[in-house]
């Protein structure tokens, strides 16, 4: 009888082993998440804030310096031209020198450049400042997307990607009120305009964050002093066992780059990201102007009203990321969100006489378009091979981010020549619908199967 009881107990213990192992892995990844994600979140928050605060500066800067809508649109968009040129080289350098040195270089240089925009006085200087900001920031986003693949297997990556990119709507939520407050309260202090103070105050924290990254981050799990030897082994085993739905890739950087350029999958997912980027940056760079056109004149009030759609954008990031991981599905989450956001954005052109209805539609558009852009980034690491990921992720981002150049420039050109944003909004909405259809028709669901 005793032997039978012992056998039953052993059998029960063995049955519980998988659940205990799962619980241990959950605890381990909570530890890793709590260590890495707050810092990465904060860095991306200031990256996005330094990128988009030009939208608030425009409300004073354009009249102070005599910039037309077309000049502003080109300046806002030229950031992405240089950004895309330096994404791939930066990711390749990250693989060579590690994430710590890469983030130190990126954050310090972009922080200095963003703050120095306060000294701009001509359109040429404005273009140069925005170009340099793109040069220095170019490797940050694709570098972090690659960095997450060093730590998290595919089934856990959708949520942490969403957590990282949740900084985008948070930057919008706090960026509007803070920028509006700085511009209205510090205007004239020390003989400087409010927009000059805004660039200075919002740019310098990135320099400090670069130093924090260098001393706080670990390049890979094997170098993390805050993980035990057993924890390091568990993480590396989980990554090695993660199939990720990938195919074998050629070896060598040159081979990776050639294969990425000639791989139709890269162009398909890049076109989807292009549509999402067009939507996000049209929304981001022109939201303050759109709200001002609804009859809101105070800089402080524009800042507060601008924060409201970003609250819903944040909810979209969390909700759509959670849903995508919960149902282990990417295609319909991206495509449906892009199309829904396109409809809402188009409808805003018919509601300019109602601030309330326009704000509701902007909130709806923000929810879906930011959710689509965030969960999209769970697709490239799954769709591309491990060896090609460093180049492939950066190349997708480089090609797709052209949308960040196209939509602000297009909207500025159209507004300068017609006095209205309506046709520009229709063009951007059309691009979003096309991106949604490509997602459904060109991405095979089997290739995007999410692992356990």
pLDDT tens-digit map of 275-314: 998 888 888 888 888 898 888 888 888 889 999 999 998 8
Question: Is 437 buried (19+), middle (13-18) or exposed (0-12) by CB count in 10 A?
Answer: middle
CA distance linking residue 132 with residue 117, whole number of Å? 10
Residue 221 CA to its chain's centroid (Å): 24
Which residue did the predictor score with more confidence, 249 or 2?
2
Q: Is the pLDDT of residue 395 over 70?
A: yes
Query: Looking at 70-79, 94-103, 438-447, which range is the least confident one?
Result: 438-447
DSSP H/E element including 386 = none
pLDDT at 253: 55
pLDDT at 251: 42
Q: Residue 275's closest CA among 132, 440, 163, 110?
A: 440
Contact assessment for residue 288 and residue 302, using Cβ atoms and an 8 Å cutoff: yes
Q: What's the mean per-residue pLDDT of the chain? A: 84
Q: Is the pLDDT of residue 248 over 60?
A: no
pLDDT at 16: 47
CA distance linking residue 59 with residue 55, whole number of Å? 7
- Report residue 428 as tokens: 């951007």
Nearest 5°: the CA angle 48, 52, 54 is 145
Which residue did the predictor score with more confidence, 138 or 38?
38
Q: How far apart are the first and last CA of the chain?
A: 40
Average pLDDT for residues 30-34, to the nearest whole number?
93
302-316, 369-383, 435-449: range with highest mean pLDDT: 302-316
CA distance linking residue 358 with residue 348, whole number of Å? 6
Contact assessment for residue 325 and residue 377, using Cβ atoms and an 8 Å cutoff: no
Contact assessment for residue 302 and residue 58, using Cβ atoms and an 8 Å cutoff: no
Q: Residue 396's closest CA among 382, 409, 410?
A: 382
pLDDT at 418: 86
Query: Looking at 5-14, 163-172, 371-380, which range is the least confident one?
Result: 5-14
Contact assessment for residue 321 and residue 327, using Cβ atoms and an 8 Å cutoff: no
pLDDT at 387: 59
> Among residues of the chain, what percentage have pLDDT more than 70?
88
CA distance linking residue 39 with residue 328, whole number of Å? 27
CA quadruple 27, 32, 35, 40: dihedral sign = negative
Q: Is the pLDDT of residue 237 over 50?
A: yes
Alpha helices (H) in 166-204, listed in sequence order: 167-185, 194-203
CA distance linking residue 104 with residue 84, whole number of Å? 20
18-27's contacts with Cβ under 8 Å and 24+ in sequence apart are 24/234, 25/234, 25/238
pLDDT at 242: 76
Query: Looking at 39-43, 116-120, 171-175, 252-256, which range is the least confident one?
Result: 252-256
CA distance linking residue 421 with residue 32, whole number of Å? 45
Q: Is the pLDDT of residue 165 over 70?
A: yes
pLDDT at 305: 92
Which residue did the predictor score with more confidence, 28 or 252?
28
pLDDT in tens, 360-374: 999 999 999 988 988
State the greatest distance between any 2 C-alpha atoms of the chain, in Å, as a whole number: 93
Alpha helices (H) in 204-330, listed in sequence order: 205-216, 229-241, 253-262, 264-293, 299-327
Question: Is 121 buried (19+), middle (13-18) or exposed (0-12) by CB count in 10 A?
Answer: exposed
CA distance linking residue 349 with residue 357, whole number of Å? 11
Which CATH topology does 37-217+254-442 take? Growth Hormone; Chain: A; (1.20.1250)
Confidence grade of residue 266 (pLDDT, cut at 50, 70, 90): confident
CA distance linking residue 339 with residue 346, whole number of Å? 11
pLDDT at 3: 52
Query: Looking at 179-193, 244-258, 380-394, 407-421, which range is the least confident one?
Result: 244-258
- Report residue 371 as tokens: 């959710």
Q: Is the pLDDT of residue 388 over 70?
A: no
pLDDT at 243: 54
Q: Is the pLDDT of residue 247 over 90?
A: no
CA distance linking residue 368 with residue 297, whole number of Å? 28
Contact assessment for residue 156 and residue 322, using Cβ atoms and an 8 Å cutoff: no
């Amino acid at each position: 009888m005793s032997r039978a009881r012992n056998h039953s107990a052993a059998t029960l213990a063995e049955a519980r082993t998988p659940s205990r192992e799962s619980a241990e892995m959950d605890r381990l990844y909570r530890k890793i998440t709590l260590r890495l994600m707050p810092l990465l979140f904060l860095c991306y928050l200031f990256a996005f804030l330094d990128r988009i605060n030009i939208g608030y500066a425009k409300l004073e800067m354009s009249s102070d310096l005599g910039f037309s809508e077309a000049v502003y649109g080109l300046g806002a968009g030229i950031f992405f031209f240089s950004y895309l040129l330096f994404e791939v080289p930066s990711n390749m350098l990250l693989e060579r020198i590690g994430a710590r040195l890469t983030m130190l270089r990126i954050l310090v240089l972009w922080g200095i450049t963003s703050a120095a925009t306060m000294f701009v006085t001509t359109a040429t200087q404005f273009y140069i400042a925005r170009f340099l900001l793109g040069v220095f920031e170019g490797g940050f986003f694709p570098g972090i997307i690659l960095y997450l693949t060093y730590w998290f297997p595919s089934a856990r990556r959708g949520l942490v990607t969403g957590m990282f990119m949740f900084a985008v709507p948070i930057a919008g939520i706090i960026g509007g009120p803070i920028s509006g407050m700085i511009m209205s309260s510090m205007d004239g202090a020390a003989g400087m305009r409010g927009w000059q103070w805004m660039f200075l105050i919002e740019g310098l924290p990135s320099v400090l964050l670069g130093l924090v990254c260098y001393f706080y981050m670990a390049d890979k799990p094997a170098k993390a002093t805050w993980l035990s030897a057993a924890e390091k082994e568990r993480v590396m085993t989980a990554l090695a066992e993660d199939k990720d739905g990938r195919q074998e890739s050629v070896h060598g950087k040159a081979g990776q780059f050639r294969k990425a350029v000639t791989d139709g999958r890269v162009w398909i997912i890049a076109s989807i990201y292009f549509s999402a980027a067009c939507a996000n940056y049209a929304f981001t760079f022109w939201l303050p102007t759109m709200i001002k056109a609804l009859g809101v004149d105070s800089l402080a009030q524009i800042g507060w009203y601008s924060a409201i759609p970003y609250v819903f954008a944040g909810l979209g990031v969390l909700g759509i990321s959670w849903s995508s991981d919960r149902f282990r599905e990417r295609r319909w989450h991206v495509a449906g969100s892009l199309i829904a956001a396109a409809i809402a954005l188009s409808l805003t052109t018919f509601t300019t006489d109602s601030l309330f209805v326009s704000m509701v539609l902007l909130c709806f558009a923000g929810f879906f378009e930011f959710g689509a852009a965030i969960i999209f980034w769970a697709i490239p690491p799954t769709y591309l091979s491990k060896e090609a990921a460093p180049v492939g992720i950066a190349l997708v981002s480089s090609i797709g981010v052209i949308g960040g150049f196209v939509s602000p420039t297009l909207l500025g050109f159209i507004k300068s020549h017609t006095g209205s944003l309506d046709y520009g909004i229709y063009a951007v909405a059309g691009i979003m619908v096309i991106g949604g259809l490509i997602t459904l028709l060109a991405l095979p669901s089997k290739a995007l199967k999410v692992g356990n």
